[in-house]
């Protein structure tokens, strides 16, 4: 049976580093509070004018280079983002132009922090159906441009970056074994950007009221996340008849170290199997999993035959997972 296999990964983060100590000078916060409550020490911030497609382009070029492919070899580009260059065209189309991926169809997926896993699942389906041979799946975010830099409850959490994978049809043991997607729109108010869409079209008032910035009920979101992520991991492992101990690596969305640790603990997974990089990048939303995956691959933490669990949670609310045999 045909599977979709990740044959290459790539990632990119902007050069500018914003530390917790830098934030102490901007809002009423402290390195101690941010570290204790979230685990984040620093994050990357896109330069003025640097866009989601700019970051996506660097990550995609790295993935294509690792795969030994050119843009022209790609059949489809799926970009997960909630901070795309503009409402339309899609960031995927802008990326297609930059990669000279002439034969590719391109579109964006909006599932907030779960976006990459939603996009991966869509890409997997196109490959399994036989419609496409090679799909580029990207998560890219420049949430620093949608953060209220005077709101200490959100501005300390987010960062910018991009990650990409190349999916290819494969028939061996390696590949994506299953993906699991969920959402609950009843909880949309926990995490959103209320302005700029047809509900609150851009106006002087929406700008004045800060409606174009991220709003999050952090504490409530936290509680749902811990509950949901354990259940999702259990569902995913059970579907594949695997036990947590059989996992080589667990790559969770990098939102909060306490959420990650709570999930690992509930699964009885030792933290040395959990890939964590939020101390360096903060929450990069749809980019967090592909960046962490790329780092894990490039540092040799994941090898052929390993079972790897990816899991995310975010605005929508949405949550999603993927079980991969590397």
253 classed as catalytic: yes
**Cis ω before 317 (30° cut-off from 0):** yes
> CA-CA distance, 140 to 161, in Å (whole number)?
6
> CA-CA distance, 69 to 57, in Å (whole number)?
14
Using an 8 Å Cβ cutoff, are 119 and 138 in contact?
Answer: yes
Partners of residue 254 on adjacent β-strands: none
Give the contacts of 256 (CB within 8 A, at least 6 positions apart): 37, 38, 39, 222, 225, 278, 283
Least Å from the CB of residue 149 to ligand UT7 = 12
CA Rg, the chain, in Å? 19
Least Å from the CB of residue 21 to ligand UT7 = 13
To which H or E segment does residue 22 belong? helix 20-24
Binding segment toward ligand UT7, per CB under 6 A, in 100-108, 122-130, 219-227, 236-244? 219-227
Crossing angle of the two packed helices 257-266 and 31-38, in degrees rounded to 10: 30
Least Å from the CB of residue 209 to ligand UT7 = 20
Q: Among 313, 318, 319, 326, indicate the residue that binds ligand UT7 (CB under 6 A).
A: 313
One symbol per residue from 165 to 184: x for binding ligand UT7 (CB under 6 A), - otherwise; what is it? --------------------
Least Å from the CB of residue 153 to ligand UT7 = 4
- By the rule CB under 6 A, 222 interacts with ligand UT7: yes
Catalytic residue among 113, 132, 256, 277: 113
Q: Among 33, 98, 170, 261, indicate the residue that binds ligand UT7 (CB under 6 A).
A: 33
256 classed as catalytic: no
Strands 134-142 and 76-80: parallel
Beta carbon nearer to ligand UT7, 89 or 218: 218
- By the rule CB under 6 A, 153 interacts with ligand UT7: yes
- By the rule CB under 6 A, 53 interacts with ligand UT7: no
Which runs of E-coded beta strand occur in the chain?
3-12, 16-19, 42-45, 76-80, 105-109, 134-142, 160-170, 175-183, 191-192, 215-216, 247-252, 307-314, 318-325
Least Å from the CB of residue 14 to ligand UT7 = 19
Restricted to residues 97-136, the positions that interact with ligand UT7 (CB under 6 A) are: 113
Where do contacts with ligand UT7 occur on this chain (CB under 6 A)?
A: 29, 33-34, 37-38, 113, 152-153, 156-157, 218-219, 221-222, 225, 255-256, 259, 283, 313-314
What are the residue numbers of the active site? Answer: 113, 253, 283
């Amino acid at each position: 049976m045909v599977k979709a296999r990740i044959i290459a990964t790539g990632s990119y983060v902007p050069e500018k580093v914003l530390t917790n100590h830098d934030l102490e000078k901007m809002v009423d916060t402290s390195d101690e509070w941010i570290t204790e409550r979230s685990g984040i020490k620093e994050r990357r911030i896109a330069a003025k004018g640097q866009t989601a497609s700019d970051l996506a382009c660097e990550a995609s070029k790295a993935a294509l280079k690792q795969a030994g492919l050119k843009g022209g070899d790609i059949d489809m580009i799926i970009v997960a983002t909630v901070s795309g260059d503009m409402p339309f065209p899609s960031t995927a189309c802008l990326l297609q132009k930059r990669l000279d991926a002439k034969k590719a169809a391109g579109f964006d997926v909006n599932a907030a922090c779960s976006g990459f896993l939603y996009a991966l699942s869509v890409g997997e389906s196109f490959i399994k159906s036989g419609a496409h041979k090679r799909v580029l799946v990207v998560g890219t975010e420049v949430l620093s441009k949608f953060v209220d830099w005077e709101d200490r409850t959100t501005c300390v959490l987010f960062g910018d970056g991009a990650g990409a994978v190349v999916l290819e049809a494969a028939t061996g043991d390696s590949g994506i074994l299953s993906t699991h997607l969920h959402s609950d729109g009843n909880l949309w108010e926990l995490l959103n950007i209320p302005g700029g869409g047809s509900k609150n079209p851009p106006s002087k008032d929406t700008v004045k009221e800060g409606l174009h910035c991220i709003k999050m009920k952090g504490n409530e979101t936290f509680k749902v996340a811990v509950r949901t992520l354990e259940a999702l991991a259990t569902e995913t492992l059970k579907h594949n008849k695997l036990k947590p101990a059989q996992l080589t690596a667990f790559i969770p969305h990098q939102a909060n170290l306490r959420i990650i640790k709570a999930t690992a603990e509930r699964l009885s997974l030792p933290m040395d199997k959990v890939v964590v990089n939020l101390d360096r990048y903060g929450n990069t939303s749809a980019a967090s999993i592909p960046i962490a995956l790329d780092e894990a691959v490039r540092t040799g933490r994941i090898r052929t035959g390993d079972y790897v669990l990816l899991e995310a949670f975010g605005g929508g609310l949405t949550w999603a997972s993927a079980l991969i045999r590397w």
